[in-house]
Structure 1
């Protein structure tokens, strides 16, 4: 998932809700999965929002990578192996653009 500066003005919950919906459209989440993905995304968005308030660019990049890695681990634990494979393929496709 990409975190753009345009999202900085929205709440972490609003951003997480939109991203959860996009993941749900991609892999059809159960209610329990939706809840777990949403919580993981809110946590990541809150951490990134706090991080973006810092001025040390090097630290921001380092910690943002760590936040995204933890998010990926959480999502991997929530999704089924097939869902996770589809999710990763969509991320790779986005990164190509």
Structure 2
């Protein structure tokens, strides 16, 4: 009887470990839409976006996340990846300038400075 309990305990621990491992992997591989949704929500909390602004910001962030993931997939040098990331960030910044009001954009810039 003791052997069966030990065996069942081992099997249960094995499956718990498998679930934990797959949850961590899924967390690292979020879709661009999920990441953009989270970032849009954070920006909304910061500057109180309107509905139209939320949609436009979401689209810009999804595009940026897709581009970043493509950069990560390619076998490129670090310098090429850095240049690509800088280009993506500049495009996002340009989009934000067009979408946000000047006051919202200043608040957004100030929050970026605090993070640095």
The two structures have a TM-score, normalised by structure 1, of 0.88
**Structure 2 counterpart of 1:39, from 54, 59, 64:** 59
Measured in 2, the distance between the counterparts of 1:8 and 1:35 equals: 25
Task: Flag structure 1 segments of 5+ consecutive residues without an equivalent.
Answer: 1-6
- 1:23-52 superposed Cα distances (whole Å, 9 cap, x missing partner): 000000000000000000000000000001
Distance 1:8 1:73, change over 3 A: farther
Work out the CA distance in 2 between the residues paired with 1:73 and 1:47. 16
Correspondent of 2:104 among 77, 80, 83:
83
Q: Which residue of structure 1 aligns with residue 42 of structure 2?
A: 22
Q: 2:92 aligns with which of 55, 68, 71?
A: 71
1:4 is matched with which residue? none
User: What is the aligned length?
Assistant: 89
In 2, are the aligned partners of 1:27 and 1:86 still within 8 Å (CA)? yes
Q: CA RMSD in A?
A: 1.1
* Cα offset, 1:58, TM superposition: 1.2
Superposition misfits of 4+ residues, deviation over 2 angstroms? none
Cα 1:87–1:76, aligned 2, differ >3 Å: closer, same or farther? Answer: same
- Consecutive unaligned residues of structure 2, counting only runs of 5 or more, are 1-26
Highest CA radius of gyration, 1 or 2?
2
Higher RCO, 1 vs 2 (CA within 8 Å, ≥6 residues apart): 1
